[in-house]
Structure 1
Amino acid sequence: MARDRDELSVLLKRLAHAQRVYVRSGRLPSTSGGTSGGTNGVLAAIAAETHILVGQLHREDWQRFASAPEGPAAVEQVEEALEPIAAKNAAALMGRLASQCLVWPQFTFMDRAEADAVAGLVVELLGADALWWSNCDGDDEDSWTAVTACTFDTLVAGTDGHRFAVLIQVGED
């Protein structure tokens, strides 16, 4: 299991891009109860891990650019923003976020095929029973509920009930 956790971290780091695409992975706290404990506990744990990542990116890079003076969303707001998505949609969204700028789509961070391949490995590593979420509203990737204090943010997060992966891209116009 530690090897899988390390592999997950390595794969996600391949998808990161300085000051645009941020990633976090690790082990969920044991209080989340795994997927058999129900999705509410797992969702709360994913929201908390996402909130940690949002706080880090805000403090480290984005505080001076933030469009919302109150700062990033509270953990409860992050949880409310998360919508369930299918694994194949999670992989596609993760690949797009890792490869293409939200603000200026013609600007790319990495080759899309490579990003899609790595994102597919992340989804595969968490397994067929993994649960996935995004802050996109339904299937519309152009409509989202903000979780950072930035103009643009889109995230994808998943867990097998024990390990988790979060990827978020932020931007300002």
Structure 2
Amino acid sequence: MESLEILAGLDAAVTELATPTRVYVAAGRFTEPSPDLPELAHRIRALLATVAADEAWRRFLPRYAPPSAAEICACLEPVETHEAAAFLARLAAVDLVWPDHRHLPVGAAERAADRVVSLLGRDGSWWANHDAACGAVNGLTPLFDSLLAGTDGEHFALALQIADD
């Protein structure tokens, strides 16, 4: 599949996962040669800045500045590719604070998440701000947040859910 086709597919699929003021997404193609985790962290930082600028969250984050790329890298834990689609679908569909509340129908979230993971391929790398071994979350904001970021080394896809109690 051509890079432009992958990019268009990623953009469409992550857009299906977004919900106003709760699930923020981004997809794109790296411009740097040989991008790695620091470049992905810069894209995550830009997404966090989008959340902080959103009128819905500005009052909760009055002096918030997104962490540096190095700090974001320190918060990230690897996610196995075979677990990425289920994680992404949960992130888009299930509320962090109220698990009985759905932001999206589960089936729609699963289809879009499967597509994102498929487009980044079996060799894609996935990262979350969760430590699956102990269940801890390395918060990127002062609120509740959950992030999944994936890359195939050329393209990236990000999804972030934010919530406040």
Compute the TM-score of the two structures, normalised by the length of structure 1. Answer: 0.88
**1:1-173 to 2 correspondences below 5 Å:** 1-31=3-33, 33=34, 41-60=35-54, 61-66=56-61, 69-140=63-134, 142-149=135-142, 151-173=143-165
Partner of 1:37: none
Give yes or no for contact 2:125–2:151 (8 Å, CA) kept in 1. Answer: yes
Tell me the distance in 2 between the aligned counterparts of 1:110 and 1:90: 18
Q: Deviation string for 1:39-70 (max 9, x for gaps)?
A: xx51111111001000111112322113x844
Residue type of the partner of 2:151?
T
Percent of pairs identical after alignment?
33
Moved over 4 A (4+): none
Residue type of the partner of 2:79?
I
Q: Deviation string for 1:96-122 (max 9, x for gaps)?
A: 011111011111011112211210111
Compute the TM-score of the two structures, normalised by the length of structure 2. Answer: 0.92
- What is the count of residue pairs matched by the alignment? 162
Q: Structure 1 residues 139 and 28 mapped into 2: Cα distance closer, same or farther (>3 Å)?
A: farther
Superposed CA RMSD in Å reads: 1.5
Give yes or no for contact 2:52–2:64 (8 Å, CA) kept in 1. Answer: no
Give yes or no for contact 1:9–1:26 (8 Å, CA) kept in 2. Answer: yes
Residue type of the partner of 2:68?
A
Give yes or no for contact 1:13–1:23 (8 Å, CA) kept in 2. Answer: yes
**SS in structure 1 of the partner of residue 158 of structure 2:** strand
Give yes or no for contact 1:133–1:156 (8 Å, CA) kept in 2. Answer: yes
Give unpaired runs (5+ residues) of structure 2: none
